[in-house]
Structure 1
Amino acid sequence: MPNDFNQQIIEEFRANAGEVGGPFEGARLILLTTTGARSGERHTTPVAYYADGDGDVLVIASAAGAPKHPDWFHNLVAHPRVTVESGAFTYEATAEVLAGTARDDAFARAVEADPGWADYQARTSRVIPVVVLHQIPSDGPPNVSASSMGQYMQLIHDAFRRELALIRAEIGNAGPTLGAQLRINCLTFCQGLHNHHTGEDIAMFPFLADSHPALAPVLDRLREEHERIAELTAELKQVISANPEGTAGPADPADPADPVDPQHVRKEVERLTAALEAHLTYEEQQLIPILDAPAGAAGPAH
């Protein structure tokens, strides 16, 4: 039977591009669609997630510490191919249940980010599974629920804003050192932003330059801002990867033995936030009217 509470979250999630209120406001949520182990029917469940690098995400089959694994876990064990909705993107993924040290390390990262996971584990005798969802590469543009190029840009920008707000809040709640999971979140954000700007530089901007020559000054400014933001993300990554004095080699983002000062990271994140917000706002003002204009029409470019 459908869960009315979950269904309400699903509908709100889809209606608001991944944002929900109530008890899950500000939480990291995805919608995970699995195939029923026995029924073969498709079932969608809101689940918490953590970044795992390289486009992968982790989900935890806690069932709030219940004695049995949740249904969605049994489903993906039987049928590992799943569908993931992030709010901005929808994509297919392959589910891998982690075992041994890989599972323990991933669960420890989650506990460090939210001690509630340890409470769930303490309530049950079962070992709570951790699953990594590997995104399946696909040809063509990403699957985004947008009816126009302008709406596509706005959704992507808002997803970056939301992720950056989550990271800032997590840094604000950090202890004396930056946790491994938060470091991975920061690095994942930086990589995603780099990929987005690279796509604009090699595809969208040349197209707009050819179709709207008057946009040349705007596109030049946006390219320059991409370079400045790339410098800021490089500086943030350098801070995250910096080892304390007296240690050798770069820090491992997943190794809590390599401490990083959250105050230092917070300063770099604030610098990046200010530059990125100004860039996104300017880009939206200048390009969305043109991207959404009827053929032959032109929007503002000043």
Structure 2
Amino acid sequence: MPHDFNQHVIDEFRANAGRVGGPFEGGRLILLTTTGARTGTRHTTPVGYLPDGERILVIASAGGAPHHPDWFHNLVAHPRATVEDGVFTYEAAAEVLTGEERDRVFARAVEADSGWADYQAKTRRTIPVVALTSVETGPPRFPGATPGQSVTLIHDAFRRELGTIRKELAESGSALGAQLRINCLTLCQGLHNHHTGEDLGMFPALRRHRPELAPVLDRLDEEHRSIAALLEELRRTLAEPSTAPGGIRAEVERLTDELEAHLTYEEEQLVPVLDAMAG
């Protein structure tokens, strides 16, 4: 992609917590910062990605060009990168997938979006797939954000991912693709991890320091349990090989309705408190 176009996307991404328009609108996008293979200079590139559990996958298609993109050569030479997903910024280890694993993952990508097959058909090279796995430990960092803003950023990321999955389900055929299953399962795990963190950290701290919030926190605890039951039901449905997109769509819509109400209530009740305590 031309440098000016890339820079426009980068600026828009950073200004809008990961939301962009144009060809990337409504898709999954990260900013990938790599170290130049020859120069050692840091370069940032907007790249689409696929969820894959605890890691994400990026495909070095370069639009079907005859040569691998620069960012791929950089990762081969320096297999560490900085990933920005609109909410979190983290350091990641890069692994170029090979053999059966690469072929299986690429086939999954093609099943989800035939454009990847079009790119492969345009070039003689085997388009590489790279797995990016966070190497950071400890709580997430939100540079420049207040505690309340941090909570809202996380919530908006879940809203955005749910919207993307709903769109994918609406556009899917009669069979549920493998990548779409993984997208749903990754969302389930992310929500579980987020709520567990609140249950073990933020909510107990608020109970200690702001006892008048007990009724609010009791309601949020109950909503966590209800959402956990919906997530478990979605996992069970996804585990059925014969499950059609319509069945998953119904479960996702139930989850979306309940989760949106929960996130909105939590923001209304806790964001002002969190920011006041930090002030």
Aligned-partner residue type, residue 14 of structure 2: R
Deviations 1:131-159 (A, max 9, x none): 11111132x31122442100000000000
Alignment of 1:195 onto 2:193: yes
Shift of 1:2: 7.8
Aligned to 2:52: 52
CA distance in 2, matches of 1:105, 1:295: 47
TM-score (norm 1): 0.90
CA distance in 1, matches of 2:72, 2:247: 39
Aligned to 1:40: 40
Query: Residue 244 of structure 2 is aligned with which of 254, 261, 285?
Result: 261
CA distance in 1, matches of 2:278, 2:135: 35
Aligned to 1:300: none
Alignment of 1:277 onto 2:260: yes
Aligned-partner residue type, residue 261 of structure 2: A
Paired residue secondary structure (1:144): coil
Deviations 1:134-191 (A, max 9, x none): 11132x3112244210000000000000000000000001111110000000000000
More helix by share: 2
Aligned to 1:134: 133
Query: Residue 289 of structure 1 is aligned with which of 250, 272, 277?
Result: 272
Contact 1:31 1:85 in 2 (8 A): yes
Alignment of 1:243 onto 2:241: yes
Aligned to 1:12: 12
Aligned-partner residue type, residue 110 of structure 2: V
Contact 1:145 1:152 in 2 (8 A): no
Contact 1:146 1:152 in 2 (8 A): no
Aligned to 2:76: 77
- Could you list the structure 1 runs, at least 4 aligned residues long, displaced by more than 4 angstroms after superposition: none
Contact 1:51 1:188 in 2 (8 A): yes
CA distance in 1, matches of 2:273, 2:57: 38
Deviations 1:237-264 (A, max 9, x none): 00000134xxxxxxxxxxxxxxx21000
Contact 1:36 1:42 in 2 (8 A): yes
Aligned-partner residue type, residue 272 of structure 1: L
Aligned to 1:223: 221
Paired residue secondary structure (2:221): helix
Paired residue secondary structure (1:94): strand
Aligned-partner residue type, residue 108 of structure 2: R
CA distance in 2, matches of 1:158, 1:112: 28
Q: Tell me the matched-pair count.
A: 279
Aligned to 1:30: 30
Aligned-partner residue type, residue 116 of structure 2: W
TM-score (norm 2): 0.97
Shift of 1:24: 1.1
Aligned to 1:95: 94
Aligned to 1:207: 205
CA distance in 2, matches of 1:80, 1:154: 32
Contact 1:61 1:73 in 2 (8 A): yes
When the two chains are superposed, the root-mean-square deviation of aligned CA atoms in Å is: 1.4
CA distance in 1, matches of 2:67, 2:2: 18
Structure 2 unaligned blocks of 5 or more:
none
Give the share of equivalent positions with the same residue, in percent. Answer: 68
Aligned to 1:165: 163
CA distance in 2, matches of 1:146, 1:280: 22
CA distance in 2, matches of 1:176, 1:143: 41
Paired residue secondary structure (2:206): helix
CA distance in 1, matches of 2:143, 2:126: 37
Aligned-partner residue type, residue 18 of structure 1: G
Contact 2:147 2:278 in 1 (8 A): no
Query: What does residue range 108-119 of structure 1 map to in structure 2 within 5 Å?
Result: 108-119=107-118
CA distance in 2, matches of 1:56, 1:90: 14
Shift of 1:226: 0.1
Query: What does residue range 173-184 of structure 1 map to in structure 2 within 5 Å?
Result: 173-184=171-182
Paired residue secondary structure (1:293): helix
CA distance in 2, matches of 1:272, 1:294: 31
Contact 1:57 1:133 in 2 (8 A): yes
Deviations 1:33-80 (A, max 9, x none): 000000001000000000111x20000000000000000000000000
Paired residue secondary structure (1:292): helix
